[in-house]
């Protein structure tokens, strides 16, 4: 079992791994990782939202190059217990410009320390560069 981290430590570790873009917590509260979670928890305290029975869901883009181009999306399920956080699982999906799934990779039994760096996560769903065939020798035509 992973040691639980406070929000600042949790966000710093993931930010250092490259997850420095914008996320949504529970489908709302857009912002940087720490800001999104903080705003969600504040609204829970005010009664405007409720804590989930299971894990918090963080979603965001790892790679984006416009509406019509393929993109890489990330979903993270985060355990929240008494003000402490731990990453439990992650899903990385590459989708085309229409939102159709091209490739997906799921990681279970994760911890915030064992989570892949952003570049590694993107590489899991991006196709390996195709090798270019060398020039074939000239052939005789009949």
**Does the pLDDT at position 80 exceed 70?**
yes
Residue 65 binned pLDDT confidence (cut-offs 50, 70, 90): confident
71 pLDDT band (50/70/90 cuts)? very high
**What is the spatial distance between Cα 56 and Cα 77, in angstroms, rounded to a whole number?**
6
**Nearby residues of 99 by Cβ (< 8 Å), 6 or more positions away:** none
CA distance readout (Å), 7 to 27, 97, 142: 19, 34, 73
Kindly report which listed range (17-26, 68-77, 78-87, 130-139) carries the lowest average pLDDT score.
130-139
Q: Is 80 exceeded by the pLDDT of residue 22?
A: yes
């Amino acid at each position: 079992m992973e040691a639980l981290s406070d929000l600042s430590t949790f966000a710093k570790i993931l930010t250092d791994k490259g997850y420095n873009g914008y996320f949504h917590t529970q489908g709302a509260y857009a912002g940087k990782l720490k800001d999104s979670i903080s705003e969600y928890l504040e609204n829970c305290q005010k009664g405007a939202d409720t804590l989930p029975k299971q894990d918090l869901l963080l979603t965001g883009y790892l790679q984006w190059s416009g509406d019509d181009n393929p993109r890489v999306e990330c979903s993270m399920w985060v355990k929240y217990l008494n003000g402490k956080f731990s990453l439990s699982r992650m899903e990385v999906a590459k989708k085309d410009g229409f939102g159709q799934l091209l490739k997906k990779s799921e990681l279970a039994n994760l911890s915030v320390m064992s989570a892949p760096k952003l570049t590694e996560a993107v590489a899991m769903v991006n196709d390996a560069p195709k090798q270019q065939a060398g020039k074939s020798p000239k052939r005789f035509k009949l």
